[in-house]
Every structure is written in structure tokens, then in C-alpha cells.
């Protein structure tokens, strides 16, 4: 058969309309946000760049057109776990879906390729590197393709936080399949990243759909590091006991230590990083997907491919390098729309370390400037005295007039003070000691501590020695941290890691500007606990029925070897608890109960509900 020859399709069933597919397959009764507009545009053959927050329904923007257009929808996805989760969920809903990746047995891969060649698939998930294979492209030439969906599209951009060179090869789609609509989808992309996505993928004529970046169900919180592990344990046990969560750490060693610490305290915690034996890493990831209440302690290598909707918290014990990375990682919490937490412990060492790492990166000047800007924005978020959500949305170009009422600074506003004089003293201490000492040493000088190293350096004879006794050493560390965040002090990356003054500090030293600083001695979580962010079942609903429905779901999931959320999401179980349906018709009216799932699982859940009503 020559390239481009059509394979005859015999008596193909009529294709469904998008709204009918939404109702019958997914069990939802209406589109959300920009979904309908995107789907209609793609159905008409248009290209699109889609920016929607995690949990905002991006997947339906390509899954529904793939079902409603003739041919197979080809989805380019970066991670195996993400492919497998999506395929499991689609298969459970009655969709002919499959994936191709390097970990598949040869027989299964061959069978999937045959299904593609016979036009038996609605959706096929592949890794980006597969599009570099001429053999695979030749197979696509014979297929009928409904659309191309490029998921996690920020990976194509060198300005993005998760650049993957293999994504650059996807430009072949524009050249080779110009008649097939293409969607590029991501949850995080600032202006520079969006422009790069458009340029690299040839989407200059694509319509851009930008939904709100707001995730109102997530409670954002930043705490000053004191005893970070104890703070983390207190947060989990007080607010998220028994919940699934992710804890991010910067190093493999820290991952291992924190996981062991949490496990020793009775938390069902597992480590995950690239240095683990692949079989162990895969087993831990599977437990996180399949079991309830597992806490994964991981490097940022974990989570991008996890489709688990009921992650109730994401915690950071180290500072992310950018707000894009922070937003992407925290967005893995609460994908089901139920209450979730984003908790970050942040200290002076975080700011200093990241400044040093960036100074030593060897990046080209333009890239270095962009990375510096991104880190400045991240530090500014941590040091903010206004609503976290306002700061986060401002970064992505979305303005919010009022505070959100669901972040630490709205629930317990931070105290601030006129820190002009304190800042001037701190800057003077850095300057007069030679601009080569760290914050802890400078704090000793300011409070007048007669240590051996201060005396040996002769700094106890300086005019700035002991001029800062109105603050304690810990308070001076907070001042220095904020001056670094505001760009008034910088870190010597190549030398001792000492602090030196920037050009921006001159107006402050000359008395030409004032500076407000925040106090770190305010409660970091106590006030927030009056609205502890536990999942909705704890808020007045029938806990016994909830637990029975979850047990039913877990039993079905184990029997089929799929994650529990593939059966039904928590949100659907909550509707069952609230509505207590007694018939198939009643159950079908609930969100998330499609035709196939009603057939497969309806009676099992109705049995639990009827027994509760008896």
C-alpha cells in the first residue's frame, strides 16, 4: 500500500456529538470553563493552544473531539505513568484507548500497533521520541488521524521549567500532517514560554484559550523554617492524617531521611528519586496510585505523570526555583476540586543556596537573567504580606481585586514593621565587613556577640558592632533573608557565599526610600487550623457510609488492578453519600457516572447504599 492510501472502513457507527459523549462516557452533564469553546474549535479542524490549571479539565478538550471526529486521537505525553492512568480511566469508561512506551512487553506493543493499523483505536498515547521514528510515522501515514494533542506543552520551551529536547522534534507534525488539527496543552506557561511553544510547534495561527489559573480549593501556606521536619509532621497529623500527599525535597539524601522520619512517626510514607533501584521506584509509585493514604516523599522527578485526583496536600521542604514549578507541583493537589493544601517551609538557606546554584549554572546570559527573574518572583511570593493567591495570579497576568480568604495571609495576616533602619544596619554590616560573610556571621556582629571568629577578624572594633541589639539573631536572619528576596543583597556564588550589596540598595542607604519588612514571629498555622483543610467527608457527612463506599471502590479496583479513582472519583462518592440513590436511574443522575460505569459498577455501589438505608 502506498503512503497516503486510505484503508477502507466498513459500516462505521455514527460518531457521537460532544455533549452526548460527555454525558454517556464520562457522566458529566455540562462543560466547564473554556472546554466547550475549545472542543468546538477543534471539531471544526482548528489548531489551539490551551492553558488550563491542573484539574481544570484539559484532557476532555482532546478526548471528546477524538471520539467525535473520524480517526484516532494521538496524544503525545511525557511520562509512562500518566499514559497508563489515562488509558485505564478511558478503558473503564468504555473508550478504545491504548498507549505505546518502552516498558511495554513486545507482544502488547505489537498488538497495539495492529489495532492502530486496523483503525480500532479512539485514542493512542505515545512518548514524544516515538515521533522521531520514521517507521512509526509511516504507520501514521496509513492511519486516519482525528487530531494530535501535545500534553505538557511547556516541555518544548527552553524558558519553561521542565524543558525536554524530544519535544522539539514535534515540529514534524506541522510539516507532515498539516491537515490534522493540533492542540498544545499545559497548566503553566508565562508569556515567554507561551511564545516559545507557538514558535517551536508552528502554532502561529492557532487560537489561544487561557482559562483562569486560580485553584480556589487549594489553601496556600508558607511557614518560616525552624524545625522543618517537625513542622511537616505537625502539619500532616493535624490537618491531613490518613490523606494521600506529596512532599518535595531538593536532594535524594533528604528524600530518604524525611521518608524515614515520617515512617518512624507512623505516617505511611515512601521515598521516590532517580537513585532508587528502578523496581523499588516503580513499586513505590504503584503503591501511591493504588493504595489510599500514601505519602510520597520525592524529588521533583515525581508527580508530573500522576493523574491521582485525591492528593490532599503537596508540601515543599525546599524552595522551588520558580513560581511556574511551584504552581505545577502544588497543582497536583486537589485535582478533584475538593479541599487541598499547598504547604511550603522556607528559610534563609533556601534563598542563599538557590542564588549560589544559579550563579554556578554556567547558563547563557539571557537564560541566566530569566532564571534570576523567576527566582526573584518565587522569593517575593514567600516574603509577601498580601494574599498568596493574588501574588501567584499576578505572576501569570491575571489580576484579582480582593484577597482569596483561603491562604495563610488572608486567614492570619502577617504583621509588618518599618524596617528601613534595620535594613540600613544590615546593609552596613555586610559592607563594612568586606562583603564576604554570610547572614549568620553578620547577625553575630550586629547583636555584638563576642565570638572567637568575630574577634579574630577584628570586627568587634567596627562601628557597626553591637548596633543591632534591638533584634535577636533569628530576627536579623529574617531581615537578611528579606533583603536577599528584595534584591538589595546578593550572594557570592563563586567564592565564600558571602553577601554583597547590589545597586538597588543605594537609595535605601541614602535615605531616599522606606522599606516595610514582615515579622516572622507570627503564628504560621495555628489560626489556619480553625479551618483545617480536611477533605469534605469530615465536614458533617456520614463518615460510616463514606468509608463503606470507599471500601467497595477499593475492592473493585484491586480486582481489576487499577487505581481506585479509575472506578469513581471521591467527588462522585460524596454525591452518593449526599443523595443516597436507590435505583440505577438515581445513580445515573450523579456526576461522573457514565453508561459503561453504571453497567459495570452500579449494582455494587447500590448494594452498599441500599444496605445503609435498610
Angstrom distance (rounded) from CA 47 to CA 204: 9
pLDDT for 115 beyond 70: yes
pLDDT for 539 equals: 58
Q: Is the pLDDT higher at 305 or at 217?
A: 217
Give the position of cell 486496523.
Answer: 118
pLDDT for 613 equals: 85
Whether 497 contacts 430, CB under 8 Å = no
474 DSSP 8-state letter: H
**Model confidence band, residue 429 (pLDDT cutoffs 50, 70, 90):** very high
pLDDT for 567 beyond 70: yes
Q: Which residues of 173-183 are buried (b: 16+ CB within 10 A; e: fewer)?
A: bbeebeebbbb
**Model confidence band, residue 530 (pLDDT cutoffs 50, 70, 90):** very low
CATH numbers and ranges of domains, the chain: 18-210 (3.40.50.300), 218-346+384-411 (3.40.50.300), 416-518 (1.10.10.10), 536-613 (1.10.150.80)
pLDDT for 3 equals: 40
pLDDT for 9 equals: 43
pLDDT for 22 equals: 92
Q: Report pLDDT digits (tens) over 358-410.
A: 777 777 777 777 787 888 888 889 988 889 999 999 888 888 888 999 999 99
For residues 305-328, average pLDDT = 88
Strand partners, 315: 247, 343
pLDDT for 7 beyond 60: no
**Model confidence band, residue 540 (pLDDT cutoffs 50, 70, 90):** low
71 DSSP 8-state letter: S
For residues 17-34, average pLDDT = 90
Q: Count other C-beta atoms under 10 Å from residue 38's C-beta.
A: 28
115-119, 124-128, 260-264, range with greatest mean pLDDT: 260-264
Q: Report pLDDT digits (tens) over 243-284.
A: 999 999 989 999 999 999 999 999 999 999 989 998 998 899
Nearest to 17 by CA among 3, 31, 2: 31
Give the position of cell 562583603.
Answer: 435
Q: Report pLDDT digits (tens) over 460-474.
A: 999 999 999 999 998
For residues 133-147, average pLDDT = 91
Angstrom distance (rounded) from CA 144 to CA 371: 42
For residues 120-127, average pLDDT = 94
Q: Which helix (H) or strand (E) holds 374?
A: helix 365-383
Angstrom distance (rounded) from CA 97 to CA 614: 40
pLDDT for 308 equals: 86
Nearest to 82 by CA among 65, 101, 64: 101
pLDDT for 286 equals: 87
What is the 3-class SS of 313-359, one letter each residue? EEEECCCCCCHHHHHHHHCCCCCCCCCEEEEEEECHHHHHHHHHHHH
317 CB-side CA count, 13 A = 27
For residues 527-545, average pLDDT = 58
pLDDT for 255 equals: 96
Angstrom distance (rounded) from CA 277 to CA 192: 37
Which cell goes with 34? 473554556
Q: Which helix (H) or strand (E) holds 544?
A: helix 543-560
pLDDT for 303 equals: 58
Whether 199 contacts 333, CB under 8 Å = no
Nearest to 438 by CA among 499, 354, 484: 499
pLDDT for 342 beyond 50: yes
For residues 445-466, average pLDDT = 92
Q: Spell out the residues 6+ positions from residue 147 whose beta carbon is closer than 8 angstroms to its own.
A: 42, 62, 65, 66, 69, 73, 74, 180, 181, 182, 183
159-173, 178-192, 327-341, range with greatest mean pLDDT: 327-341
pLDDT for 529 equals: 45
Q: Report pLDDT digits (tens) over 474-529.
A: 899 889 988 988 889 888 866 667 889 999 999 999 999 999 888 875 444 444 44
pLDDT for 595 beyond 90: yes
Q: Is the pLDDT higher at 79 or at 598?
A: 598
pLDDT for 528 equals: 41
pLDDT for 318 beyond 90: yes
For CA atoms 19, 22, 27, 28, give the dihedral sign. Answer: negative
Q: What are the residue ranges of helices labelled H in 74-214? A: 80-92, 106-117, 134-142, 172-176, 191-201
pLDDT for 74 equals: 96
pLDDT for 549 beyond 90: yes
**pLDDT, mean over the chain:** 87
Q: Report pLDDT digits (tens) over 60-95.
A: 999 999 999 999 999 998 877 788 888 988 999 999
For residues 139-166, average pLDDT = 81
Angstrom distance (rounded) from CA 277 to CA 54: 30
Q: Spell out the residues 6+ positions from residue 82 whose beta carbon is closer than 8 angstroms to its own.
A: 151, 304, 305, 306, 307
How distant, in Å, are the alpha carbons of 3, 93, 274, 283 from that of 254?
53, 40, 13, 20
pLDDT for 4 beyond 50: no
pLDDT for 495 equals: 63
Strand partners, 244: 311
Q: Which phi and psi angles does 342 have, rounded to 5°?
A: -120, 110
Amino acid at each position: 500500500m502506498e503512503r497516503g492510501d486510505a484503508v477502507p472502513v466498513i459500516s462505521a457507527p455514527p460518531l457521537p456529538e460532544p455533549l452526548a459523549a460527555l454525558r454517556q462516557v464520562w457522566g458529566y452533564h455540562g462543560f466547564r470553563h473554556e472546554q466547550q469553546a475549545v472542543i468546538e474549535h477543534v471539531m471544526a479542524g482548528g489548531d489551539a493552544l490551551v492553558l488550563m490549571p491542573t484539574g481544570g479539565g484539559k484532557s476532555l478538550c482532546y478526548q471528546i473531539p477524538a471520539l467525535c471526529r473520524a480517526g484516532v486521537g494521538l496524544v503525545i505525553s511525557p511520562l509512562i505513568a500518566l499514559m497508563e492512568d489515562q488509558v485505564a480511566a478511558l478503558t473503564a469508561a468504555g473508550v478504545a484507548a491504548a498507549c505505546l512506551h518502552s516498558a511495554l512487553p513486545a507482544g502488547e506493543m505489537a498488538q497495539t500497533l495492529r489495532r492502530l493499523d486496523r483503525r480500532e483505536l479512539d485514542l493512542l498515547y505515545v512518548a514524544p521520541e516515538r515521533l522521531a521514528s520514521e517507521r512509526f510515522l509511516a504507520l501514521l501515514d496509513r492511519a486516519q488521524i482525528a487530531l494530535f494533542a501535545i500534553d505538557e506543552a511547556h516541555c518544548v520551551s527552553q524558558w519553561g521549567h521542565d524543558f525536554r529536547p524530544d519535544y522539539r522534534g514535534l515540529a514534524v507534525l506541522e510539516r507532515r500532517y498539516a491537515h490534522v488539527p493540533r492542540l498544545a496543552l499545559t497548566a503553566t506557561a508565562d508569556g515567554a514560554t507561551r511564545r516559545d511553544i507557538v514558535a517551536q510547534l508552528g502554532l502561529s495561527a492557532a487560537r489561544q484559550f487561557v482559562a483562569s489559573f486560580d485553584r480556589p480549593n487549594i489553601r496556600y501556606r508558607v511557614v518560616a523554617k525552624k524545625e522543618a521536619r517537625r513542622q511537616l509532621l505537625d502539619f500532616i497529623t493535624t490537618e491531613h492524617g490518613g490523606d494521600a500527599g506529596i512532599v518535595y525535597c531538593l536532594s535524594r539524601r533528604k528524600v530518604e531521611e524525611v521518608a524515614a522520619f515520617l515512617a518512624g512517626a507512623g505516617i505511611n510514607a515512601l521515598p521516590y528519586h532517580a537513585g532508587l533501584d528502578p523496581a523499588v521506584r516503580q513499586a513505590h509509585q504503584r503503591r501511591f496510585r493504588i493504595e489510599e493514604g500514601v505519602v510520597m516523599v520525592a524529588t521533583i522527578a515525581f508527580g508530573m505523570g500522576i493523574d491521582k485526583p485525591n492528593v490532599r496536600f503537596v508540601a515543599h521542604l525546599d524552595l522551588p526555583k520558580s513560581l511556574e514549578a511551584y504552581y505545577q507541583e502544588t497543582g497536583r493537589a486537589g485535582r478533584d476540586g475538593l479541599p487541598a493544601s499547598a504547604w511550603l517551609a522556607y528559610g534563609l538557606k533556601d534563598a542563599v543556596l538557590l542564588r549560589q546554584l544559579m550563579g554556578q549554572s554556567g547558563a547563557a546570559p539571557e537564560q541566566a537573567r530569566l532564571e534570576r527573574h523567576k527566582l526573584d518572583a518565587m522569593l517575593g511570593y514567600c516574603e509577601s504580606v498580601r494574599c498568596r493567591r493574588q501574588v501567584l495570579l499576578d505572576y501569570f497576568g491575571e489580576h484579582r481585586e480582593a484577597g482569596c480568604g483561603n491562604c495563610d495571609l488572608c486567614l492570619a495576616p502577617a504583621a509588618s514593621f518599618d524596617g528601613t533602619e534595620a535594613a540600613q544596619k544590615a546593609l552596613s554590616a555586610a559592607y563594612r565587613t568586606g562583603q564576604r560573610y554570610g547572614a549568620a556571621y553578620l547577625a553575630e556582629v550586629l547583636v555584638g556577640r563576642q565570638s572567637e571568629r568575630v574577634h579574630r577578624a577584628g570586627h568587634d572594633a567596627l562601628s557597626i558592632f553591637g548596633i543591632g541589639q534591638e533584634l535577636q539573631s533569628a530576627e536579623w536572619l529574617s531581615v537578611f533573608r528579606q533583603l536577599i528576596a528584595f534584591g538589595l543583597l546578593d550572594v557570592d556564588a563563586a567564592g565564600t557565599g558571602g553577601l554583597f550589596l547590589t545597586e538597588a540598595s543605594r537609595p535605601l542607604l541614602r535615605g531616599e526610600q522606606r522599606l516595610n519588612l514582615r515579622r516572622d514571629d507570627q503564628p504560621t498555622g495555628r489560626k489556619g487550623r480553625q479551618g483545617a483543610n480536611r477533605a469534605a467527608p469530615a465536614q458533617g457527612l456520614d463518615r460510616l457510609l463514606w468509608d463503606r463506599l470507599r471500601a467497595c471502590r477499593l475492592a473493585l479496583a484491586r480486582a481489576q488492578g487499577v487505581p481506585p479513582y479509575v472506578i469513581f472519583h471521591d467527588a462522585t462518592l460524596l454525591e452518593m453519600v449526599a443523595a443516597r440513590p436507590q435505583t440505577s436511574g438515581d445513580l445515573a443522575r450523579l456526576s461522573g457516572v457514565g453508561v459503561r460505569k453504571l453497567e459495570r459498577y452500579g449494582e455494587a455501589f447500590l448494594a452498599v447504599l441500599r444496605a445503609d438505608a435498610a
